[in-house]
Amino acid sequence: MKLVQFEPLFIRSFSTSVWPFPLHNHNHYELMFVAGGSGTHELNKISTDYSGETVFFLAPEDNHDFNIAEECQFSVIKFLPSVLKAGINSSTTDYWDNLLTSLSRKWNLSADEINNDAPFLKKVSSIMEVMIAEWQENNQQVTEIHTNLLRSLLLLIDSSTKNVNDTTAQYGVTQIERLQNYIHSHIHFPEKLSVKNLSVTFGLSESGLRSVFRKGMEMSLGIYISSLRIEMIKNRIRNSESSLSEIALEFGFTDPSHFNKFFQKHTAVNPLRYRKDNKTKNEV
């Protein structure tokens, strides 16, 4: 089962004695902090016991499940790489994409050591508490505080794995991961996400590309790109002072009418009404 998220960031905090999800992977990264309790975590068919405070870092294609023995408090940050760039394509793209790829490989080799590092766990817990509070106080909307604190968490993990050799080349990156990363990095450039361009970039026929994507993501390529694009546009409208014309250009719309039609098709409201409605909600 694949869980697909199009929001740049989503935070969940809950306590449970029964894990509510089946074995699954996803299209996003997850940073999980478990406080108290115990159980078994199955990651890519390998089961590991955990107890007390524990951190899990999951890459998009990681399959995982929990078998909870004692009730646990879960704090979960689910995010797409785009949130690290504040929704704007920039020269920092490669840095964060490369860091995420590196971390997801190094983590599997160093998780046990890191989860025995009490100062590290204390820092992670403190940062996540602030992120959860900010999330709740802002009606589950992403703020600059979330972006900067998430960056801090990733840099903290990277610092804690400095002594682990980066094995990215050894493990490789799956084809669907490369496709996802490319789409996330070029979501502002529609011409680069055409089936024709993607098929050439990844050395596949157009029908082969569609087939690979549908099999890996359990949805069509077109629906995935449109859904990701509209969620990122909505996020920019809600959380930036940029004009609608500026946001339209940022996402490759040179015609305001085309931008309005695209937005209304996917949200049933026009961009101006969406901004007014969400500004009112945020002020309540």
Q: Which of 94-108, 136-150, 157-171 has the highest mean pLDDT?
A: 136-150
Would you say residue 12 has pLDDT above 80?
yes
Taking only the tens place, the pLDDT of each residue in 29-66 is 999 999 989 999 999 888 999 999 999 999 888 899 99
Return the pLDDT at 123: 95
- The residues near 122 (Cβ < 8 Å, ≥ 6 apart) are none
Would you say residue 106 has pLDDT above 90?
no
Q: How many residues does the chain have?
A: 284
126 against 82, higher pLDDT: 126
69 against 8, higher pLDDT: 69
Give the separation between CA 100 and CA 102, rounded to whole angstroms: 5
Q: Cβ of 208: how many Cβ atoms within 10 Å? A: 12
Q: Domains in the chain and their CATH numbers?
A: 2-169 (2.60.120.10), 174-283 (1.10.10.60)
Would you say residue 271 has pLDDT above 70?
yes
Alpha helices in 115-255 (DSSP H): 118-137, 144-160, 168-171, 175-185, 195-201, 206-217, 221-239, 244-250
Q: What is the mean pLDDT of the chain?
A: 87
The HSE-up count of residue 118 (CA atoms within 13 Å, CB side) is 0
Tokens 């077109």, residue located: 222
pLDDT band at 105 (very low <50, low <70, confident <90, very high): confident
Return the pLDDT at 96: 83
Tokens matching residue 19 = 């894990």
- CA 58 to centroid of chain Cα atoms: 10
Single pTM value for the model: 0.77
Would you say residue 107 has pLDDT above 90?
no
| SS3 of residue 131 by DSSP | helix
Give the separation between CA 245 and CA 22, rounded to whole angstroms: 43
